[in-house]
Amino acid sequence: MDEVFRVLADASRRRLLDSLNVRNGQSLRDLCAGLDMTRQSVSKHLALLEAAGLVTTSRRGREKLHHLNAAPINAIADRWISRYDRERARALADLRTALEARPVQTPTFVYTTYIRTTPEQLWRALIEPEFTRRYWGGAALVSDWRVGSPVLWQDAPDAEPKDIGQRVLVCQPHTRLSYSWHAFQPEHAEHFGWSPEEYAARLTERRSKVTFDLAPYGGAVRLTVTHDDFSPDSEMYRAVSGQLDAGGGWPELLASLKSLLETGEPLPEPEPAGATEG
């Protein structure tokens, strides 16, 4: 965590994060054009941000793209949130929101975390129902994980798995998994309080996809989750990035996965809204 704070202390590096917050997924050339810094300086700052986990990268052909990564901010909140008073906790939440909220027309969600486990064990946690049920809020993912096969949802152990339109796109054991993402379901409309008209509008969004990339990292595994192919101004993007449900989406789910693999237990269920200590 000390490294994260050291990196954020530099104004130039904060400007780079601000630039990525405005338009995520920029190349080195893009970032240099938008900032009054030399290419060498930008490259050095990006290397430090990436080393601290605040920036993660992907490839588009021969081009290297840079994305914000909110995992270190989530780690700060998870580790110390109970030690801060309300105002300091709000400041951390505001910083996390600034890193996750990206006002772009066709957004991409990229999130990198490091888990003390093996690629084999993490792969099992991504595909085996007995694992997925523990951190997906009681729902299990059921599939034979062959390309083209459905990824079914099973809401309870004795429930019939249902097809909500997800299909396996890539399956490279212990390395990469990708599948198409579902549309909003009736339970989402109920949860978010959408009117029938609002729910119908959400259903016009095109299907997105999620990709999990696994890579050994010393005694841990680097897991990068990329969720893309959203419609412009996508409500599904806001949902999976945690903007519709504070603390939810992929950041919460991946924190629970990390906790399960490192401690044997997923994150505890959040308290109902309005709950108070007493």
Give the CATH number, domain containing residue 24.
1.10.10.10
Assign 247 a pLDDT band (cuts: 50, 70, 90).
low
Domain CATH for 251:
3.30.530.20
Inform me whether the pLDDT recorded for 277 exceeds 50: no
70, 116: one domain: no
176, 83: one domain: no
pTM for this structure?
Answer: 0.69
Pick left, alpha or beta for residue 99 (phi over 0 → left; psi -120 to 50 → alpha; otherwise beta).
Answer: alpha
Let me know if residue 276 belongs to a domain. no
Measured CA to CA, the distance from residue 151 to residue 128 in angstroms comes to: 11
Domain count, the chain: 2
Inform me whether the pLDDT recorded for 252 exceeds 70: yes
State pLDDT tens for residues 37-92.
888 989 999 999 888 888 888 877 788 888 888 677 666 665 555 445 445 555 55
Last residue of a domain, one of 35, 69, 100: 100
256, 204: one domain: yes
CB 152 within 8 A of CB 142: yes
Q: Buried (b) or exposed (e) across 110-128, using 16+ Cβ within 10 A?
A: bbbbbbebbbeebbbbbbe
Inform me whether the pLDDT recorded for 102 exceeds 50: no
pLDDT of residue 244: 81
Q: 206 CB contacts (<8 Å, ≥6 apart)?
A: 229, 230, 231
Using alpha carbons, select from 108, 98, 47, 29 the residue that is nearest to residue 70.
Answer: 98
What is the distance, to the nearest Å, from the Cα of residue 68 to the centroid of all Cα atoms in its chain?
Answer: 11
What percent of the chain has pLDDT above 70?
82
pLDDT of residue 271: 60
15, 36: one domain: yes
Q: Which two tokens stand for residue 174?
A: 């212990």
Structural domain containing residue 92: 2-100
15, 128: one domain: no
